[in-house]
Amino acid sequence: MQKQYETVFIMTPVLSDEQMKEAVSKFQGYLKKNGAEIVYEDHWGLRKLTYPIKKKSTGFYHLIEFKAEPELIAKFELELRRDERVIRFLTVALDKHAIAYNKKKRMEKEKAVEKSDEKTEEKSDKKVKEQAEKVSEEKVEKEVREEADKKAEVKADKDAEEKAAKEAEVKADKDAEEKADKESEVKADKDAEEKADKESEVKADKDAEEKAAKEAEVKADKDAEEKADKESEVKEDKDAEQKADKEDEEKADKEDEKQASEKEKNK
């Protein structure tokens, strides 16, 4: 079952526009090729990093929101990790609240653009009207100026509110970037620790195998020595028995010869 994810990746600032677009296109193609559906993309452009990464103080930020099978995420992150153009990335799974928030934010952005276009058109119409009223009597001209002053005051208040809202949004984005960078750093540290633990475990297994092999070799040598000693001892015992048998046989022969000689003398 597909889930919705959001990936923000930072590319090295030394890339040209063409190289940057090529990198983005590569990751888009990888997701689509593996059955993912891209919901939304946003290129944030060149931004200053919270802290230097790989001796770089800036980077090109790009966001992709997409739907995909959970198994694809590890493979996608491996593609990002292998690409030298990417200096940092972070993927988060979106729950229904995050999905709704992102959708609402996009709609508000679209409405803000439409509203800005409407204001531009309204301002143009107003300018034409003011020019026409300027030709009329001084009283009408005065009323128009007063109305314009009032609207300017309202606009100034509104601009101040928009500026405050924009600054708050920028701060929220900055906080989100810092959080993403910190989480990415924590993940990198954790991966390094896991790798070190695994290497240590492999080394311990190797040492244990070498120790066992050495002990087996020592035991084999000891068994061989014991076997040789035992065979030597058996041989020595056998030689001693043969020698004793031979001596007994020679002694018996001598005794027989002595008895035979004594019989000859008696005759």
Look at residue 68 and tell me if it is in a domain: yes
What residues does 68 pair with on adjacent strands?
3
Look at residue 255 and tell me if it is in a domain: no
What residues does 92 pair with on adjacent strands?
6
> Quick one: DSSP state of residue 136?
S
**What pLDDT does 33 receive?**
97
Look at residue 12 and tell me if it is in a domain: yes
Which segments of the chain does DSSP mark as H helices, in order?
17-33, 70-82, 96-134, 138-266
pTM above 0.75, yes or no: no
Q: Has residue 49 got a pLDDT over 90?
A: yes
Look at residue 266 and tell me if it is in a domain: no
CATH number for the domain including 68? 3.30.70.60
Least confidently predicted of 12-16, 109-113, 246-250, 252-256: 109-113
Look at residue 129 and tell me if it is in a domain: no
Q: Tokens in use for 212?
A: 């066992």
Look at residue 64 and tell me if it is in a domain: yes
**What pLDDT does 90 receive?**
97
Q: Which residue range(s) make up the domain with 65?
A: 3-94
Cα separation, 88 vs 52, whole angstroms: 11
Q: Are 17 and 74 in contact (CB under 8 A)?
A: no
Look at residue 18 and tell me if it is in a domain: yes
Work out whether strand 86-93 and strand 37-53 pair parallel, antiparallel, or are unpaired: unpaired
Least confidently predicted of 53-62, 164-173, 212-221: 164-173
The CA angle 209-212-213, to the nearest 5 degrees, is 85
**What pLDDT does 161 receive?**
78
Sign of the CA dihedral running 64, 65, 67, 69: positive
Provide φ and ψ at 185, rounded to 5°: -65, -45
Look at residue 36 and tell me if it is in a domain: yes
Q: How confident is the model at residue 162 (pLDDT cuts 50, 70, 90)?
A: confident
How many structural domains is the chain composed of? 1
Q: How confident is the model at residue 42 (pLDDT cuts 50, 70, 90)?
A: very high
